[in-house]
Amino acid sequence: MTRHEPPRRPTGLSRLMFRLPIHLFRLRLGWLFGGRLLLLHHTGRRSGRRRATVIEVVGHADGAYVVASGFGPRADWYRNVLAHPEVAIVVRTTAAPAIATPVPPAEAAEFMVAYASRHPWVARQLCKRLMGFPVDGSEEGFREVGRRVPFVRLTPRGLAP
């Protein structure tokens, strides 16, 4: 599987649309997303400033939330959580401190397949249009995307080992 082109960060109006859910979470309207999105508070790896981003939940594992960096390993939030894994998350209206840990590629592949089986149309569109992967809709195609896209497990601190 080859990538058509590297994903580009959203700019202009599309960036504003990507950032809109942050404001909804801040207004305590995160319940509107039904647990499909979460608000991630993280620390900038260079600035040390608190940052926020909204990410789609790809899966759940033992009380933790699994998310993917659709813009690849160079996404700022991803690089930030690798540098500073102590984060905070808000799911619906519940906030919790959490620990961010990378998910191994083989496990990430299975999360991607499970996500694609629950949301086939959305998974195809995200893979093709946002991430640039030419998926054919097969399990193996989504498995390959899962092996190549960075996934992170966000474990609420009370559950972390």
Q: Is 138 or 83 the better-scoring residue by pLDDT?
A: 83
* Joined tokens for residue 57: 């939940």
The answer to whether residue 137 scores a pLDDT higher than 50 is yes
What CATH number corresponds to the domain at position 87?
A: 2.30.110.10
Q: Is 113 or 137 the better-scoring residue by pLDDT?
A: 113
Alpha-carbon gap, residue 40 to 52, rounded angstroms:
6
* 90-119 residue pLDDT tens: 999 999 999 999 999 999 999 999 999 999
The answer to whether residue 20 scores a pLDDT higher than 90 is no
As beta bridge partners, residue 59 has 66
Give the residue among 73, 54, 80 at the shortest CA–CA distance from 65.
54
Residue 6 covered by a domain? no
For helices 105-118 and 139-148, give the axis angle rounded to 10 degrees: 130
The answer to whether residue 67 scores a pLDDT higher than 60 is yes
- 3-state SS, 64-108, equals EEEEECCCCCCCHHHHHHHHCCEEEEEECCEEEEEEEEECCHHHH
pTM of the model: 0.84
Going by pLDDT thresholds of 50, 70 and 90, the confidence category of residue 10 is low
Provide the CA 51 distance to its chain's centre, in angstroms: 15
Alpha-carbon gap, residue 107 to 112, rounded angstroms:
9
Alpha-carbon gap, residue 47 to 110, rounded angstroms:
35
User: What confidence score (pLDDT) does residue 19 get?
Assistant: 75
Residue 95 covered by a domain? yes
The answer to whether residue 13 scores a pLDDT higher than 70 is no
Residue 109 covered by a domain? yes
Residue 47 covered by a domain? yes
Going by pLDDT thresholds of 50, 70 and 90, the confidence category of residue 161 is low
Residue 80 covered by a domain? yes
* Joined tokens for residue 93: 């209206």
Q: Average model confidence (pLDDT) for the chain? A: 87
Number of compact structural domains in the chain = 1
User: What confidence score (pLDDT) does residue 4 get?
Assistant: 44
Q: Which domain holds residue 98?
A: 12-156
* 37-53 residue pLDDT tens: 999 999 999 999 999 99
